[in-house]
């Protein structure tokens, strides 16, 4: 016996000879042979050769569209997954926010298509698994990104988020591009209120959509506007970009009646008459619009120039105090420091606006103009009666209350 060899009893009681170097190297050689997958290589014996046979591979072939790595895929087209020589077992389409996009597997399980909408400018992953006739699995894991639309539109809304408004404030949305697919756009906009009330949208034009209830809001109502316009096709090839919520609250209930035969403004707050002011209305040649007019803007002081409303150079007043807009066309209820005191409550001499006595520079909080301004908020209603003029066009300002409910509802696209 040499020093390189030993004799040891086998577990069955028989003896075996083993080289010391063979004990150190034999197992790694067998392992390499098994991992190589080639029975013609390595120094393993019969057992090792049998373990090295190649595993079978699934013949199922999966194709995903958009292809892996695409960065400008259409967000309006569905994602499609197909397989040949196999059946799809599962398909998972996930956005970068982790949300899964639903889809539909064909009855023969050879194709799948997404049914939920994609979002522009977003990255997605697809994980698909299929099996062939031998139940062997194949998988596909791909990534792609959607393009951002070249042509977009947005809606400018009023009131602003967090605002406290009067009972006559509608939700008004002006689009920066004409909308031809009115139904899709209106369906993507929701207005809800607490306490609940029916709210209906009305299209004044291809660029303006307003929402209101049948009657003025109840005081304290909380209103939520939900814009879900992102990727909504408003016109051919023109897509929305907004997805946001806007919340506002209806404050106390205040409405006023401007009687231009009596030349008085009577203010009612939460059901109680709180003030009566002498006023000046529009002169016979410049009558004030009749109807329910909603305060849409407020200015401590503002310039009024007759040239801007088509009246030439009849007036140009740089510092009109306590001005509150009632129509887009230029009707205001405002303070007046230039007319004699005798005209307030007795004469209609304005160019169509309603005036209350005030001080130059809006400097005296005790004037009627200052007090009415301080008591008012955007969304309050000033109803003009006995003006001798026709009712204001409902689209002239935020004045949709001058349209009966049936006509208002008829202007909805949904």
Q: Which residues does residue 264 pair with via DSSP β-bridges, in sequence order?
A: 259, 278
Instruction: Please provide the DSSP assignment of 335-395 as one string.
Output: EESSS-GGGTTT---BSS-EEEE--GGG--TTSHHHHHHHH--TT-EEEEES-SSPBPPTT
Q: Which residues does residue 325 pair with via DSSP β-bridges, in sequence order?
A: 297, 332
46: part of which helix (H) or strand (E)?
Answer: helix 46-51
Going by C-alpha positions, the residue among 381, 351, 348 that lies closest to residue 266 is 381
SS3 182: helix
List the catalytic residue out of 202, 322, 351, 353: 353
Going by C-alpha positions, the residue among 401, 384, 414 that lies closest to residue 217 is 401
DSSP 8-state symbol, 297: E
**Cβ–Cβ < 8 Å for 231, 117:** yes
Question: What is the dihedral sign for C-alpha 221, 189, 409, 170?
Answer: positive
Four-point Cα dihedral 354, 358, 361, 364, nearest 10: -140
**Cβ–Cβ < 8 Å for 263, 175:** no
36: part of which helix (H) or strand (E)?
Answer: helix 20-36
- Locate the DSSP E strands across 262-353: 264-269, 272-280, 291-294, 297-305, 316-325, 332-336
List the catalytic residue out of 202, 322, 334, 351: 334
334 labelled catalytic: yes
By annotation, the residues acting in catalysis are 334, 353
């Amino acid at each position: 016996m040499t020093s390189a060899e030993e004799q040891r009893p086998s577990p069955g009681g028989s003896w075996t000879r083993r080289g010391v170097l063979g004990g150190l190297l034999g197992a790694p050689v067998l392992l390499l042979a098994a991992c190589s997958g080639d029975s013609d290589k390595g120094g393993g014996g019969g057992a090792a050769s049998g373990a090295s046979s190649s595993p079978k591979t699934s013949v199922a072939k999966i194709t995903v569209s958009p292809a892996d790595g695409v960065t400008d895929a259409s967000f309006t087209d569905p994602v499609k997954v197909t397989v040949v020589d196999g059946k799809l077992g599962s398909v998972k389409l996930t956005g970068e926010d982790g949300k899964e996009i639903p889809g539909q597997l064909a009855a023969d399980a050879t194709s799948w298509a997404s049914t939920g909408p994609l979002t522009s400018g977003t990255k997605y992953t697809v994980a698909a698994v299929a099996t062939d006739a031998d139940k062997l699995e194949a998988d596909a894991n791909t990534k792609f990104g959607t393009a951002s639309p070249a042509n977009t539109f947005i809606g400018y809304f009023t009131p602003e988020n967090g605002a406290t408004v009067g009972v006559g404030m509608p939700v008004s949305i002006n689009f920066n591009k004409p909308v031809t697919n009115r139904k899709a756009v209106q369906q993507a906009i929701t207005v809800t209120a607490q306490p609940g009330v029916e709210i209906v949208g009305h299209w004044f034009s291809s660029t303006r959509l307003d929402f209101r209830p049948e009657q003025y809001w109840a005081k304290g109502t909380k209103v939520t506007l939900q814009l879900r316009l992102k990727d909504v096709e408003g016109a051919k090839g023109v897509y929305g970009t907004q997805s946001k919520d806007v919340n506002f609250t209806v404050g106390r209930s205040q409405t006023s009646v401007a009687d231009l035969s009596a030349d008085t403004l009577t203010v009612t707050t939460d059901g109680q008459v709180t003030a009566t002011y002498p006023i000046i209305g529009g002169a016979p040649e410049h009558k004030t619009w009749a109807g329910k007019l909603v305060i849409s803007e407020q200015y401590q002081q503002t310039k009024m120039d007759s040239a801007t409303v088509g009246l030439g150079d009849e007036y140009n007043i740089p510092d009109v105090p306590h001005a509150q807009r009632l129509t887009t066309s230029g009707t205001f209820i405002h303070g007046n420091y230039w007319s004699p005191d005798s005209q307030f409550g007795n004469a209609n001499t304005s160019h169509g606006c309603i005036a209350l006595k005030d001080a130059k520079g809006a400097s005296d909080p005790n004037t009627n103009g200052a007090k009415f301004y301080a008591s008012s908020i955007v969304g309050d209603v000033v109803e003009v009666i006995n003006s001798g003029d026709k009712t204001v066009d409902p689209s002239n300002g935020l004045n949709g209350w001058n349209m009966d409910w049936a006509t208002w509802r008829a202007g909805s696209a949904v």
